[in-house]
Amino acid sequence: MKLTVNGTEHEVDVEDDMPLLWVLRDELNIKGVKYGCGVSQCGACTVHIDGEAVRSCQTAAADVWGAVTTIEGLGSPDAMHAVQTAWLEHQVAQCGYCQAGQMMQAAALVAENPAPTDDEIDTAMSGNLCRCGTYPRIRAAVKTAAAKLQEA
Amino acid sequence: MSRIGKIARRTFLVTSAAIVGGVAFGYYAYKRPVANPLLDDLSEGEAALTPYVKIDAHGITLITPRADSGQGAYSVQAALIAEELDVELDQVTVDPGLPDPAYYNTALSAEAAPFRSTDDSFAANSTRGVMDAMMKFMGMQITGGSTTVPDSFEKLRLAGAVARETLKAAAAQQTGAQVADLKTANGAVELPGGGMIPYTELAATAATLDPVNDVTLRDPSTWRLIGKPMERVDIVAKSTGTQDYGIDFEIDGMVHATVLTNPRRYGEVIRFDDSAARAMRGVLDVVPVTGGVAVIADNTWRAIQAAGAIDVEWGPAPYPPKMDGHWQALSDSFNDDQLDSQFRDDGDVSATLDAAAEVIEAEYRAPYLAHQPLEPINATVLVQDNRVDVWTGTQIPRFVQTNVAKITGKDTDQVHVHVLMMGGSFGHRLEDRVVRQAAEIAMTRPGTPVKLTYSREEDFAQNDTRQIAMARGRGTVRDGKVEAYDLGIAMPSVIASQMGRQGFPTPGPDLQIVAGAWEQPFDIPHYRVSGYRAPELGPISSWRSVGASTNGFFHDVFLDELIDAAGADPMEERLRLMWHDPSRKTLEAVAEMSNWGSPLAPNTGRGVAFCMSFGVPTAQVIEVSSTDAGIMIDKVWCAAEVGQVIDPIMFENMVQGGIVWALGHAMNSEITYSDGMVEQRNYYDAPGMRLYQSPQIEVRGLENGRDVRGMGEPMVPPAAAALSNAIFAATGTRVREMPMAKVVDFA
C-alpha cells in the first residue's frame, strides 16, 4: 500500500491491521513517533493525518485516509515550528519521550484554535501522559506557541 | 567543603594520559581491592585512567558517568566540568562513557549508613567512610538515591580545573609565555598579546606534561554556569523529536524481539506451545529465555502479536497469590522477632503510653506501585566471537556488564555497554532483567543484533514494584502539644530484593524500612520509630525515593493526627518541634509562600507536611477544594534545602514534576496481585496524574546548608502526606491509605 509521510510517498508491504505507529517506526525508520502504550492511553504516538491529531497506535495502516505528518515533518532543529520553539523556550522536556506526541497534539490544537483558554488546553492535552510531570510547562508552552502563531 | 568532598579529594587525584591525538584527564581507578580499604588506595601499577575530560584535534568531550533519566543529569555534570574548564556547553560533546569501577558512586554509600544526615559526629562520618570503601569494592556505578549532584559536585569541578591548568602549562611551553599571564575562555587559552590557542591545538602537548594538580576551585561568586539558567544539552533534540532513546536504536541487520515472561513473577515455565506463533508473518524464531519465551521477528509489532499467540503453562508464584496474603504478612510482622531497627528511641515512650488516659492510634497502608516510565524497557545486544555489545538505557552499567559476561561466557572487559538516553526511569532501570533476556536471545543468533522491546502490558506485568508497606502509630498529647510519638513500620526489604537479584547478600538492618521516618529532626519528648522486616513477598525495587516514598506519608500524617488531637496549628506545632535550623527554614518558607493562616474559601483546606530524605529537608503546603466532582488539588508550595541550586530552571521543572509524580500515584495508582499475577495491564489501570488535574506548583530552593544535595527524589515523600492533611482540613476525612481514591473521589 502507499503512504504519504512528511511529503514523501512510500510503498509499504504490511498487513492491513498493522498500526501506523509500527509502519512508521519499523518499516520506514521514522523514530520521532514513539511507542508508549499501544492502546491510545498515552498519546506518545500522536501524528497528524490531514492536519488532525490521531493516535497512530490505534490507526490501522489500511485505514490511513490522508497525508501523514510526524514530528519530523512539523519542523526540524534548523527550521522549528512555533510549537517546537515554544517547547525549547520553556525547556519543557525532562526525559522528553512523550514530548513529540505532546507537540503534535499542541500543534493541532493551536492550528484549530488560535487562542485556547486554560480549560481548552486542559481538554485538548489531557490525553497525553507525561510521567515526568512537565504539565505546568506544557500549559505555558501551548500559550506561547499560540501567541507566536498569532503574531506571525 | 563537605565530608563527601574530603573523601573525594583524598582518594582521587586528577591525572592525565595521552590518547590518540590528544589528552584525557580523569582519576585513577583501582584494578583490584587492597587489603585495608581505609588505607590510601593509590598505589603504583594498580591504576588505570578513567577520564572525565577528553581533548583531541577533533574536539572536547566531557564524560558524564551518571545516567540521565530525564532530570538533566548530563547537563548538570557537564556544567560542573565546564565551569572550571572554561568551555561553553555548545562547544563540547557530552558522552556517558563506558562502565568503569572508577566511576563508583561515593554519595550513595553516605545514604546507606545508619546516621541521620544531620549527624556529623565522628561515628557517623567514620561509618560513612567504611560504607564508601565497600561501595568501591562493589564498583557501583549506580545512578540513584539523588546522588548525582553530591557525588559529582567537587569531583567534576576538580577534573575541569586540573585540565584547564595543564592546558595553560602546555600553552606556556608552546609559546614561551608565563603561565601566570595566561587566561582561559571559550575553550581556548588567551595569550598576553591577545592571541588565542584552542584547547584542541594544545592537547598533544598537554599529554606530555605532568598534570597540574595544585588547583584551587573557583569562588562561587565567580561562577558563570552554576546557579544560573542554562540551556540543557539535550533540549533542542527533545524539542524537535530528534532525540533518540534506547528503543530507537538501529544497527544494520538488527532483528526485533519481545518476551512473554511468567506473570507469576519469577515463577517457572512448565511448557509452551509456539506452533501458532511460528506460523505468523515475520516470525523468525521462538526461543526459551529464563522465566519465559521470546519471539524474534522482523518487526516489533509482529513479535508482540506472535507472543500473544503462544500458549504457555506457567508455574506458581513464589509469594502469596492474592493481596490479602500480602497484607496479612505485613500485619503479622509487628513483633519483636522481626524488629529490624529502632535507631530512634528518645525519652520513655512505653511508660508514657502506659500512663496516658488516652492513646491516639492509627494504621496506614501504602500499596505496591509500578514505575512505568513512558519508554518501555528495551535492550539491544550483539554477540560476536570476541566481544558483546549492549545498547540500553540503564542506571547500573557495571552490573549489566558483569551479568551479560556471565550469560554469554565472555570476559567482563569483552562486554561493551553503551548507555543510551532513557525515556524516564524513576528507578525502573535499576533492574536489568530485560538486558539479561536480550543477551539470552542474542546468544541464539551470533552476529545478529537483537533488540528486545517489552510491550506495555509486559512491562506492567513484570515491573519490580515499589514496596508494599504498613505502619501503626500510637501517641499522646498534653497541654496542646505532642507528647509521645511511636511509629512502627513494616515492609519487606527493598535492598534485599533488589540486590538479591544481583547476587549480593545484604547483611544487617535495612535502613530503607525506616527511611523518611526515623531521622526526622523533631524534638518530641518521647519519640520512637521501629522498623519491622516483613518476609519477602512480591519482587520489589527502588521506586523514586524508595523507603521514604511510603514512610514520609506515614510519619507526617500521624504527626498531623497528633497535632490535631492536641488542638494545635499544624504549622506552628511542627515549627515548635523542629530543632534543625535548615529544616525549620523550609517550613517557614512554605508558610510564607502559601500565606499560611490566611482565610480560605468554604470547602477548601490547607495541609502541610515535612520530610527529610536523602539529606534534603523538604516542606510542602497543599491547598485543595472539595467540589461536587470530587477533590481538586489547587495549589502546591514546596521549599527544599539543597545547599546549592545548580540550575534554577531544571530545579523548578524537576521539583514540579516530582510533585506531579507523587500526587498522581497517591491519588489513583497501585499494583495488586490476583492468582499471583499483576492485575493492572496498562495506563488505564494506573494512570497517575493527567494535565487537567495538575495544580499550580510554586517551588523554592534554599541554600542555607553546608552540603550540596540532589533533588531527584526528596520532593516525593512529603507530597502524599500534605495531600492527605489538606483533604482532612477541607473535609474532616482522614485518608490513611493509598491510593486515596479508595477513600475520596478526585475531580
Q: Do A133 and B256 touch (CB under 8 A)?
A: no
* Domain co-membership, A65 together with A82: no
Closest partner CB to A129 (pick from B300, B374, B697): B374
User: Mean pLDDT over residues B713-741, rounded?
Assistant: 98
Query: To the nearest whole percent, how much of chain B has pLDDT over 70?
Result: 88
* Domain co-membership, A63 together with A95: no
Mean pLDDT of chain B: 89
pLDDT of residue B262: 98
Domain boundary among A22, A55, A73: A73
Closest partner CB to B682 (pick from A18, A29, A41): A41
Chain A CA closest to residue B237: A77
* Domain co-membership, A67 together with A89: no
Residue B609 pLDDT greater than 50, yes or no: yes
* Domain co-membership, A105 together with A141: yes
| Stretch 86-145 of chain A: residues touching chain B, C-beta under 8 Å | 87-88, 91-100, 103, 121-123, 125-139
**pTM of the full predicted structure?**
0.91
**CATH classification of the domain holding A94:** 1.10.150.120
In the chain, the amino acid numbered B669 is S
Closest partner CB to B240 (pick from A15, A77, A132): A77
Q: Do A36 and B422 touch (CB under 8 A)?
A: no
pLDDT of residue B17: 77
Q: Quick check: B427 contacting A, CB < 8 Å?
A: no
* Domain co-membership, A94 together with A104: yes
* Domain co-membership, A41 together with A21: yes
Residue B286 pLDDT greater than 70, yes or no: yes
Nearest to B505 by CA among B496, B494, B513, B514: B496
* Domain co-membership, A50 together with A97: no
Nearest-angstrom CA–CA distance, A84 and B319: 48
pLDDT band for position B37 (cuts 50, 70, 90): very low
Neighbours of B335 (CB within 10 A): 10
Cell of B522: 523533631
Q: Which residues from A are below 8 Å from B239, CB to CB?
A: 80, 84-85, 87-88, 92-93, 99, 103
Map grid coordinates 611551553 to a residue.
B173
CATH numbers and ranges of domains, chain B: 3-238 (3.30.365.10), 246-316+377-453 (3.30.365.10), 323-369+465-742 (3.30.365.10)
Q: Are A14 and A61 in contact (CB under 8 A)?
A: yes
Closest partner CB to A88 (pick from B235, B302, B659): B235
E strand intervals along B400-491: 415-419, 450-453, 469-478, 481-491
Give backbone dihedrals phi and psi of B404, rounded to 5 degrees, phi first: -70, -35
pLDDT of residue B113: 52
Nearest-angstrom CA–CA distance, B470 and B735: 14
Q: What is the pLDDT of residues B334-390, one digit of tens each?
A: 999 999 999 999 999 999 999 999 999 999 999 999 999 999 999 999 999 999 999
| Stretch 77-96 of chain A: residues touching chain B, C-beta under 8 Å | 77, 80, 84-85, 87-88, 91-96
Domain count, chain A: 2
* Domain co-membership, A98 together with A128: yes
pLDDT of residue B740: 98
* Domain co-membership, A8 together with A69: yes
Domain boundary among A41, A73, A105: A73
| Stretch 48-67 of chain A: residues touching chain B, C-beta under 8 Å | none
Q: Do A95 and B373 touch (CB under 8 A)?
A: yes
pLDDT band for position B506 (cuts 50, 70, 90): confident
Q: What is the pLDDT of residues A10-57, one digit of tens each?
A: 999 999 999 999 999 999 999 999 999 999 999 999 999 999 999 999
Q: Quick check: B234 contacting A, CB < 8 Å?
A: yes
* Domain co-membership, A86 together with A133: yes
What's the Cα-to-Cα distance from B726 to each of B364, B520, B625, B636, B730, rounded to whole Å? 17, 21, 9, 11, 6
Q: What is the pLDDT of residues A97-107, one digit of tens each?
A: 999 999 999 99
* Domain co-membership, A66 together with A81: no
* Domain co-membership, A56 together with A83: no
pLDDT band for position B69 (cuts 50, 70, 90): confident
pLDDT band for position B747 (cuts 50, 70, 90): very high
Query: To the nearest whole percent, how much of chain A has pLDDT over 70?
Result: 100
Q: Give the length of chain B.
A: 747
Q: Quick check: B56 contacting A, CB < 8 Å?
A: no
ipTM of the complex: 0.98
Query: To the nearest whole percent, how much of chain B has pLDDT over 90?
Result: 74
Least confident of B48-57, B425-434, B452-461: B48-57
Q: What is the DSSP string of B81-118?
A: HHHHHT--GGGEEEE-----GGG--HHHHHHHSSS-TT
Chain B CA closest to residue A135: B691
Q: Do A15 and B682 touch (CB under 8 A)?
A: no
Q: Quick check: B228 contacting A, CB < 8 Å?
A: no
Domain boundary among A50, A73, A96: A73
Q: Do A129 and B687 touch (CB under 8 A)?
A: yes
Nearest-angstrom CA–CA distance, B79 and B102: 20
B378: which residues sit within 8 A by CB, 6+ positions away? B246, B247, B392, B393, B434, B451, B452, B453, B454
Q: Do B684 and A41 touch (CB under 8 A)?
A: yes
Map grid coordinates 560513612 to a residue.
B128
pLDDT of residue B103: 59
pLDDT of residue A40: 96
Query: To the nearest whole percent, how much of chain A has pLDDT over 90?
Result: 98
| Domain range for A23 | 2-73
